[in-house]
A and B are shown apart, each in its own frame.
Chain A
Amino acid sequence: SYVLTQPPSESVAPGETARITCEGNNIGSKSVHWYQQKPGQAPVLVISYDKDRPSGIPERFSGSNSGNTATLTISRVEAGDEADYYCQVWDSRPDCVVFGGGTKLTVL
């Protein structure tokens, strides 16, 4: 089965740029989706299809995907961005949705 690997944690100072990676074998050939989850809340889609922002998601959130690594980038980080972030892909052999283990983003 397909495996997505994320760093367990990342830390960033307010106003700086956070980069959260998601590694998988030839992940660049798949579409990657990113979710933000705050404590006690349901996940919220922040990036779809590698780099598309759903309505209502700030422009500070962006994504890229190439080779074996997809990256979620959060510019000008704010305290409210502190959350767990999950990447997700569709593995077609067999059809299954796969999530990364999640990255806890701490705003210092």
Chain B
Amino acid sequence: QLQLQESGPGLVKPPETLSLTCSVSGGSIYMSAYYWAWIRQAPGKGLEWIGNIYHSGSTSYNPSLKSRVSMSVDTSKNQFSLRLTSVTVADTAVYYCARQNYYEEGDYWGQGTLVIVSS
């Protein structure tokens, strides 16, 4: 059974950089046709897709966040990562990682990690 687990600091000061890692177990990050995504959810709000990455390193980002987002993949560790620069309080959210079938459905999700942006 595929499992994903987010990790990283729970508190980030503005305007620093938010960095999270998603560890994948029970399957390889090399799975063909599957992309690895980050999605966030501000408190009491809906879901927002941040972007995704393929095992080759090819990325796609939400245009609304594109200028501040970067993603990377470490195939040796079966992990992928998110960096979000110049954070503000508006970036406070639960951040989820997920396996995504190209740009379609997200079928496996991590449990999510709360990141609070506060000075």
B62 contacts which chain A residues (CB < 8 A)?
96-97
Query: Across the interface, do A99 and B110 meet the contact criterion of CB distance under 8 Å?
Result: no
> In the complex, what residue of chain A is closest to B110 when comparing beta carbons?
A42
Interface size class of B (residues with CB under 8 A): 20 to 34
The distance in angstroms between the C-alpha atoms of A44 and B108, with both chains bound, is: 8
- Which residues of the partner chain A approach B112 to less than 8 Å between Cβ atoms? 42
Distance of A43 Cα from B104 Cα, bound (Å): 15
Q: Could you give, for residues 33-75 of chain B, a 1 whenever the CB lies within 8 Å of some chain A CB and a 0 otherwise?
A: 0000100000000111100100000001011000000000000
Q: List 27 A-B contacts (CB under 8 A).
A: A1-B63, A33-B105, A41-B111, A42-B96, A42-B109, A43-B47, A43-B109, A45-B107, A48-B105, A48-B107, A54-B107, A86-B46, A86-B47, A88-B106, A92-B103, A94-B63, A96-B49, A96-B60, A96-B63, A97-B37, A97-B49, A97-B62, A97-B100, A99-B46, A99-B49, A100-B46, A101-B46
Residues of B within 8 A of A (CB): 37, 46-49, 52, 60, 62-63, 96, 100, 102-107, 109-112
